[in-house]
Amino acid sequence: MRICIFGAGAVGSHFAVRLALSGHDVCCVMRGPHLAAVQAKGLTLRVGDAEFSARVKASEDPATLGPQDVVISTLKATGLRSLATGLRPLLRDDTAIVFAQNGIPWWYGIGLPADHPPPPDLGFLDSNAALRSAVSRDRIIGGVIFSSNEAVAPGVVENLSPDRNMLQIGECDDRTSERIERLRAALNEAAIQSPPVPRIRETIWSKLLTNMSMSVLCLLTGQTARAVREDPALHDVVPRLLAEADSIAHSCFPDVKRTTRSGPAPNHKPSLLQDYELGRAMEIDVLVRAPAAFARAAGLSTPMLDLLAALAIRQARDKGLYRE
C-alpha cells in the first residue's frame, strides 16, 4: 500500500518505520530538523535495546509525494489546518484518511449512528469548516492511538511502550468495510496492534476518560501521571474527577470503560503538559471544552471538571498557547 503519515512526529515516525519495514511504500509529511535528518539518513526507531531503520520519502510539501492509498494523520488537533490546506495532492478518488488524535475529533457528528444521543455543537473544533470543506464523509476513518513515543534526536524516535502499540480504527458510521479490514491487516502485520472496534466513538471516549481528567491535573500540578496518582494530597481528588468523567461518557455509551493498563501509572508527562512546557499550541478544545459541551448537553453537573477546565484554559491563555 502507498501510505502517507501526515505530521510525522514521534508517534507518526514510529508507525512509518514499522509500516515501511513491513513492505509498504511509506512517505511522510514533516518539517524542521526532523525532516532534514530523515532526508539525509532515514528514520530510526529505538525499542529497548533494539534499533530499526527505514528509508522513507519525506517532505514538507505534500505536492512532492503524489497520490496515496491511505493518509494517516498523526497531527495534533491544533495542527489539522495544515492537513486541510495540504491534502489535495495526496488524494485519489478512493483515498481514505485516518484521523488519529487525542480527544473529541472534528468529525464526531458525521455519520453518527441513530442510537447515539445528539451531540452538542462542536463547530469550534473545525474553524470556518476548513476540514469539512477539504474532507468528504466517505474518506473519514476514525483512529485512536495507544503508544508512547519520544523524539530523542532529529530522525530518531524512541518507543516507551514496547508491549502496547496500538492504532484502533473504524468507519465514521461504524459499518464494516473492506478498506478497514485491509488497513487493519497491514497494521497488525507491521506490529502495530489493531483489533476490531465495533464502535469507534466508544473507543475515543474510553481513552478520553483519563485524558480529560488526569492530563489536565498533570498540567495544573506540573507532575507526571504517576506522581499525580501517588500524591497523598490528591488521594480523594482523582477518583472524584474520574467519576465525573465517567458520567459524561456514559451519557453517550452506558457501558464504556476507561482504558486501563497493568502496573503503576506511566512515569511521564502527558502531551498536554509537554506542550505547555515547550510553548506549543495546546489541545484544550478537544480534551477540555468538547467534553464540557457534552456534559452540558446531557444536563450533567461536573463541578470539579468545570473548575479544572477553567484553570487549564486560563493557564494556557496566559502563556499565549490557547485562543478560543
Beta bridge partners of 171: 141
Q: Are residues 185 and 294 in the same domain?
A: no
Domain count across the chain: 2
Cell numbers placing 206: 474510553
For the domain that residue 307 is a member of, what is the CATH number? 1.10.1040.10
Domain final residue pick, 153, 178, 198: 198
pTM: 0.94
Beta bridge partners of 180: none
User: What gap in Å lies between CA 6 and CA 20, rounded to an integer?
Assistant: 15
Residue 324 located in a structural domain: no
Q: Are residues 89 and 193 in the same domain?
A: yes
What pLDDT does 261 receive? 61
Q: Are residues 214 and 103 in the same domain?
A: no
Beta bridge partners of 47: 50, 159
Spans of the chain, pLDDT less than 50: none
Residue 141 located in a structural domain: yes
Residue 323 located in a structural domain: no
By annotation, the residues acting in catalysis are 207
Domain extent at residue 46: 2-198
User: What gap in Å lies between CA 13 and CA 16, rounded to an integer?
Assistant: 5
User: What gap in Å lies between CA 177 and CA 225, rounded to an integer?
Assistant: 37
Q: Are residues 93 and 106 in the same domain?
A: yes
The residue among 321, 318, 319, 295 whose CA lies nearest residue 307 is 295
